[in-house]
Every structure is written in C-alpha cells, then in structure tokens.
Structure 1
Amino acid sequence: MRRRTALAAGLAWAAAAGAQAPQRLRIGFAVGYAPFSEVGSDGQLKGFEVDVAQALSRRMGLPFTQVILDFDGLIPALQTRKIDAIMASMSITPERQQLIAFSAPYYFSPARMVMRSDAKLDVSPAGMKGRRIGVERGTIHERFLAEQFKGSQVLRYATQDQAFLDLKSGRLDATLVDAVIAQFGFLNHADGRGFAFAGPDFGRDPRYYGKGIGVGLRQADAATLGRRFDEALAALRSSGALKALNDRYFSFDLVSPPR
C-alpha cells in the first residue's frame, strides 16, 4: 500500500514538473558538524542530518547520493545543478531566500560564542573589540560577526574544525558556532577541556538566524521537489519518527518548533 502511494505521489510530482522525476537525488552535506554530519572511522558519512535525509528519502520513494562539499560551496553547487538539495545545518534567512528556496525547518539551534573558561570577557561588540573571533566561511555566523562585531578581528575558516584548532592553540580568542556543534564536536572532547560557552544566544536574532534549519532547494523546484520534502517532513513529525531521530543523538529537543 505504501509503495503504491509513493509511486502515485512520484508520478503526480513528475507531471506537475513537466518532466520525469529524478531517479536519485544528490544531497549536499558539509562535514565537521558532529553529530549532524561527519565522516566515521569507516570512511562513511554519518550523523543526525544523514539519518534525517535517509528517512525523508524513504518517505519520498527517492534514493539519494551523498555529495560532500565545503559549506560555502553548497549554494553555488545547487544553483549549477551539481546537487539537488542541501542538508548542512543551513539557516532559513531572508538573505538566502533571495538565492534559493527552503523546505519547512527540520531543526532549530542556538548560536553561541566558545572561548576559554577563564577568559572572563564581556561578550558584546564593545567587550570583544580588537579580539580575534573565528568563524566558518559562508555561514550566517560570518555575516552576524561582520555586521555586529565590526571592531573585532574576524578570521574566516573553510571548516569549523579548523577554527576549533586555532582556538585550542591560542590563535583565536573565541569562535561563534552553532551550540550543538560546539558541544558535540569540541566541548565534549579532550581538546575542549578548559573551554566553555560564553555570552548570550545570538541565534535568537531573527534578522540573521531566520526561522530554523531547512533543506535548501532551487527556487524553480520549490513547488515540486520542495513540496515533496515538506510532505515527507510533516509525516515524519506526525508519526514521531523525527523526534525518535532527535532522541538518538540528543538529550534535548531540537526538532519541535519554538513557542
């Protein structure tokens, strides 16, 4: 019954698109986002977003291929049709919506500064004046720092892991990052000993951090492939499958919309 339903949905989508539905989606991921997406010891990509992609793929009846890219290369790859969708902790913001479309959000995450526990710095534009703050290129954190922390030295990195390395070595005073990524990718490990979150949750500023994290799509695909992602995501929410994936990785709820 489910196979027939998926097939009917696929044929309807193809007709609406005026073209044959793709046989396999190419989904772009960015590594260095434990526990969202990282390369395991076996060389395979794993993590929460990979599992969500698999669940969405099964629900839509469309298998997918993983394409690993630097974060700042994801939107150009989508626009040039090298990939069909983005699942890389990408915030839904007005700025990005001028370039691409998004599905409904599938998780929500705070944005925090990480620095040495004994730094005792005032985490504000005035308090961080002249300080070196690391950030991953192409992220919304980069834009936030550029516009709100103009007196700071903003150092840009290809991956967040590189920023963590420079923070550990003392070449940075702080890094601005998704709080969950910082917790699981740095603070919970030996390299993160002596470091901690500092300052407020900057992710509450909707001017920069938008409406949550969604699947990035070409604008031309919003009414077709985008609709299929939204329907699959709604089904995962209503069935409890999305919350079950959340609970596999986190002891707190990232998938329920803020109230």
Structure 2
Amino acid sequence: MSMHSKTVLTVASMLLGALTLTARPASAEKLLLGNEGVYPPFSIVASDGSLTGFEPALAREMCKRMTVECEFVVMDFKALIPSILQGKFNILASQLSPTPERLEKLTYALPIVYNPATFVVRKDSNLTFTPEGLGGKNLKLGLQRGASSIPYVEKNFTGLFTPVLYDNPDQMQLDLLAGRVDLVFDSKINWTLELINKPEGKDYMLAGGDHWLGDPAIPANERGYSWAVRKGDEAIVERMNVALKSIIEDCTYTKIRKEYLDITILAGEEACAAASE
C-alpha cells in the first residue's frame, strides 16, 4: 500500500471516529424521587409493581419538562424525610405540609395540592370537638407515622386522645372499620374518596372542620402541600418550579388531575377546570 493510500485511510478513520463520538448521545441527567406508593388516589403501587396515581403522573410530566430522567424510590412515608436528608434520593415527591420544623431542613417547591386534615368518625359518635366534648372519653385516634398530624394533635388536642400509629392509611381504615380505633385524623381528600364516598363508608363522616398542618405564618392564599429537596439543592427547586408553573398554566395539571380526581385540588387550576366544563 502506498504512503498516500495509508494517509487517506488514516484520515478517514479519524473522521469516522469523530462522527461516532458526535452521534453518541450524552448520558441524561438522572434524579431519584421518593414516594410512599400507598396514598390513593395520589400514589398507588400497581399490581405489576409500577407506581401510578396523580403525583407520579405529575412528577413524570415535570421531569419531561426539566429534560431529566427520573426514577422513583418507594418506601414507607415515615422513612421519606430521613432518607432524603441522608441523600438517598433527590426529590421528596409526596405531598408534604410545610411545618416550621421541616422548613429548617427542606426547601419546598410550588404547592401541588391543598389537602387539609380532618377527623373521620362514625355518624353515631356524637362527638363535639372541644376539650369538654372530647375529654375523659379515652378515645383511640389513628394517626400515620411520620406525618405532621402527630405534632399537630399533640399541640392542639393535648391529652384528649390515645394515639395509635400506623404505617399507611389502608391500615388505619381497616382498624377504623373494625372498631379498633374510634376515629382517625388524616387528609380530607383521601378519606373522602377512599371511604366516605364508598359503600363501606356509609356509617362514617368527616368532622371537626379543616385543619392546616403547615406553618401558621404562611398566608391563607399561599397555603398548600408541596414536594421538597434538601437545603442546598435550591437549584433543583428552581427548575421544578419553572416546570410546575408551566404545567399548571397550560392546563396539563388539570388534565392529569382529572384522570384521578373529579374535584379541583389547587386554586391555580380553577380557570382551567372551569374552561373544560
């Protein structure tokens, strides 16, 4: 082979290598999202093991608009905050109330739902939610481990209940229906859809009014539950907020929400909900 031919082959090989490198896709940025998967209709682990529900669907759309690859890490709710603080995932993508204690450790994104807490009781309980009406009855109250409902009850209903702690709402509902607890205190939307509106909930009702579990200093028109990251990861929150804001404003939020809930759950979607009726 002549020197000229060798030179041509060498140049061709170099060009081919350069084209191969150019064509190879850069590895996508990947974020891990923590969720409990047992909070219907907001999150459910399907029979095939996949994570479904409103929040996973919303999170996947957010990740798409952030141009990142997202993977869910599913664990008990009580483990979510300790795990994100230990760096086991990047975003806690399960609705959190912004309590003062949590705000010291976490940075919250835009609210994605307003879901106040309330009591669920038997219709024949005849309870009055005052110290006089609750005192001395030795009422067993179901609460979820790791939830902000626990310190809220301790502060606002001191000594009026015997707390019984559960890992998830399914366990709470089973014990409420079986009479092993007298009432539960948990998220209004979930219990309305998963018990009150179903045949098995015919003997139960919501009671005691709506309770905001977040920081009382947050103005009423800014309240809502959000996803969060560790302090120091504010750059991720900024990108999340841009994506979430666009999802809400172009009515994609309402489109996703309607797949799982038939009521508006965020003040920001009211215009989209009204337009689609």
Aligned length: 239
Task: Determine which structure has more spread, i.e. the larger CA radius of gyration.
Answer: 2
Task: Say yes or no: does 1:38 pair with 2:49.
Answer: no
Deviation at 1:94, TM superposition (A): 2.0
Q: Confirm or deny: 8 A CA contact 2:141 2:162 kept in the other structure.
A: yes
Give the equivalent residue in structure 2 for 1:245.
Answer: 256
Q: Confirm or deny: 8 A CA contact 1:91 1:209 kept in the other structure.
A: no
Give the equivalent residue in structure 1 for 2:139.
Answer: 131
From 182, 190, 206, the equivalent of 1:181 is 190
SS across alignment from 2:38: coil
CA distance in 1, matches of 2:194, 2:38: 8
CA 1:183–1:216 in structure 2 vs 1: closer, same or farther (change >3 Å)? same
5+ long unaligned stretches in structure 1:
1-20
The structure with the greater share of residues assigned to strand is 2
Deviation at 1:208, TM superposition (A): 9.1
Task: Say yes or no: does 1:76 pair with 2:82.
Answer: yes
SS across alignment from 1:35: coil
Pairing of 1:14-33 with structure 2 (within 5 A): 23-33=29-39
Q: Confirm or deny: 8 A CA contact 1:115 1:197 kept in the other structure.
A: yes
CA distance in 1, matches of 2:86, 2:213: 32
Pairing of 1:1-259 with structure 2 (within 5 A): 23-129=29-135, 130-150=138-158, 151-203=160-212, 206-207=215-216, 211-222=223-234, 224-257=235-268
Corresponding letter in the other structure for 1:248: E
Corresponding letter in the other structure for 1:51: A
In percent, how many aligned pairs have the same letter? 26
Deviation at 1:106, TM superposition (A): 1.3
5+ long unaligned stretches in structure 2:
1-26, 271-277
SS across alignment from 2:34: strand
When normalised by structure 2's length, the TM-score is: 0.79
